[in-house]
Amino acid sequence: MIRWLSAGESHGPKLTGIIDGVPAGIAYTQADLEAELHRRKKGYGRGARQKIETDRVTITSGIRHGVTTGAPIAIEISNSEWDKWAAVLATDPVDPVLLRKAVGGSDDKELARNRKLTRPRPGHADMAGMLKYGHVDARNILERASARETAMRVALGSIAKAFLYQVAGIQIVSHVTAIAEISTLASQPGAAEFETIEASEVRTADKKTEQLFKARIDAAKQAGDTVGGSVEVIAFNVPVGLGSHIQWDRRLDAKLAAAMMSIQSAKQVTIGVGDSQIEAGGQQAHDEFAIENSHVTRSSNLAGGIEGGMSNGQPVVVQVGFKPISTVPRARQSFDLESGRLAPALHQRSDTCAVVPAAVVAEAMLALVLADEVTGMFGTGSLEMVKRNLVAFQAEIQQRLFTEGVL
């Protein structure tokens, strides 16, 4: 059973994460972590921050000489911009006169950083958060609501990915399926297409789609607008039986939906083929059984590998739709909590499109949910022990299906 938590503000000194319940014996190094964080920083349509921000990582517990020990793993990701924010986000009270001096009163940018943000931005947590937590300064909300936090999700997810691969060869691949109204021409990728997708700035294996996606992001940028889109995340080699039908909160599809919906700007989650399964007649909508290489399999995977809240042995397929970035260059109407009047929202630098990094975040969320399920079903302790339990279960299934003919 895997638990994890993060803390940290977008412009604070660092993000902090702890993941607990990771089995011992997983090969994992800082380089694995850094490679995964680098994947989240990439992507066509990202804004100025990603060019400046370097994800500096420290692992402070739970891994020794490149192998997990079974203890909680703690990670810190430092913000390279912290120096500029040290006075604004200081934990102790700061004298307003000294603060003004510290941030350099003559520079417009420094002044903006220091200003109280009383005009919440539409489409952000600002207004509801200010009202709920009793703040007049939106910074107290936006710093934590920001998707900066997803760097830690990806960091912790990379440990879950290493575990899943080493315990059962489970691999996770994501690709972008739509940018705004433009849908991909690529078919659902297999695990072998990972490198091709990885090499694309818009995470697609199809060259024509790549051009169309990039042109759509460029057009939005030129028009002073932002765009959303959709991604598909697929886990291969998932064992049968993860999740359960017996309670609402133990269903694998419910857990995945919550995990994906928790990503900033996610507005839609679909398991399997989604719309076309819903629109099809019952004769077409379900995956028939077949036998292939002495294994019971399915002739299709419309259900996206989950039936009755449990993995059915087919690849788990989740699609996530993201709304356009909320902070648009031409600020939308807001309400100033200080003056009690309507006023333009505060404008901040922003990404034009975050769908590409969001795909990497969705991979991490899928990995974290699956790792929790695998340890819940097959145990924790050492990697070898979990593997033994999983292999024994799969051997038993084979025997029941074919030797004993139970089913």
Ligand X SMILES: C=C(O[C@@H]1CC(C(=O)O)=C[C@@H](OP(=O)(O)O)[C@H]1O)C(=O)O
Nearer to ligand FMN, 179 or 361 (CB): 361
Q: Is 203 annotated as a binding residue?
A: no
Minimum CB–partner distance for residue 154 and ligand X (Å): 9
Burial of 64 (0-12, 13-18, 19+ CB in 10 A): exposed
The strand pairing partners of 335, in sequence order, are 342
SS (H, E, C) 286-331: CCCEEEECCEEEECCCCCCCEECCEECCCCEEEEEEECCCCCCCCC
Nearer to ligand FMN, 170 or 197 (CB): 197
204 counts as binding ligand X under rule CB under 6 A: no
Q: Which of ligand X, ligand FMN, none interacts with 125 (beta carbon under 5 to 8 A by kind)?
A: ligand FMN
In this structure, how many other beta carbons lie within 10 angstroms of the beta carbon of residue 54? 15
Over the range 22-35, which residues count as b (16 or more CB within 10 Å of their CB) and which as e?
Answer: bbbbbebeeeebee
Task: Tell me how far apart the alpha carbons of residues 359 and 321 are, in angstroms, rounded to a whole number.
Answer: 10
Is there a contact between 321 and 267 (Cβ–Cβ < 8 Å)? yes
Q: Is 308 annotated as a binding residue?
A: yes
Stretch that binds ligand FMN, among 5-13, 30-38, 123-131, 272-280 (CB under 6 A): 123-131
**SS3 at position 185:** coil
Give me the residue label for tokens 């919550």: 258
Minimum CB–partner distance for residue 362 and ligand X (Å): 14
Stretch that binds ligand FMN, among 109-117, 182-190, 213-221, 353-361 (CB under 6 A): 353-361
Burial of 406 (0-12, 13-18, 19+ CB in 10 A): exposed
Minimum CB–partner distance for residue 258 and ligand FMN (Å): 13
358 counts as binding ligand FMN under rule CB under 6 A: yes
Give me the residue label for tokens 């034009």: 352
The strand pairing partners of 289, in sequence order, are 298
Q: Is 244 annotated as a binding residue?
A: no
Task: Tell me how far apart the alpha carbons of residues 104 and 93 are, in angstroms, rounded to a whole number.
Answer: 18
Q: Strands 310-311 and 306-307, how do they pair?
A: antiparallel
386 counts as binding ligand FMN under rule CB under 6 A: no
Nearer to ligand FMN, 169 or 224 (CB): 224
Among 16, 29, 140, 146, contact with ligand FMN (rule: CB under 6 A): 146
> How many residues appear in the chain?
407
Among 103, 127, 151, 346, contact with ligand X (rule: CB under 6 A): 151
Instruction: Tell me which amino acid residue 68 is.
Output: T
| Binding residues for ligand FMN restricted to 241-270, rule: CB under 6 A | 263-265
Among 68, 118, 177, 264, contact with ligand X (rule: CB under 6 A): 264
Contacts of residue 318, defined as CB under 8 A and 6 or more positions apart, other chains included, come to 232, 233, 234, 256, 260, 269, 270, 271, 304, 362, 366
Nearer to ligand FMN, 178 or 310 (CB): 178
Task: Tell me how far apart the alpha carbons of residues 37 and 235 are, in angstroms, rounded to a whole number.
Answer: 19
Q: Which of ligand X, ligand FMN, none interacts with 151 (beta carbon under 5 to 8 A by kind)?
A: ligand X
Give me the residue label for tokens 């590409």: 356
Sketch the per residue contact string, 301 through 340, with ligand FMN: x for CB under 6 A, - otherwise.
Answer: ----------------------x-xxx-------------
Count of positions on this chain that bind ligand X (CB under 6 A): 13
Nearer to ligand X, 8 or 62 (CB): 8
Site residues, ligand X (CB under 6 A): 10, 47, 49, 53, 146-148, 151, 264, 348-351
Q: Point out the annotated binding site for FMN.
A: 144-146, 264-265, 308, 323-327, 349
* Residues in the annotated binding site: 40, 46, 144-146, 264-265, 308, 323-327, 349
Q: Which residues bind ligand FMN (CB under 6 A)?
A: 47, 123-125, 145-147, 150, 263-265, 323, 325-327, 350-351, 354, 357-358, 361
Binding annotation for NADP(+): 40, 46
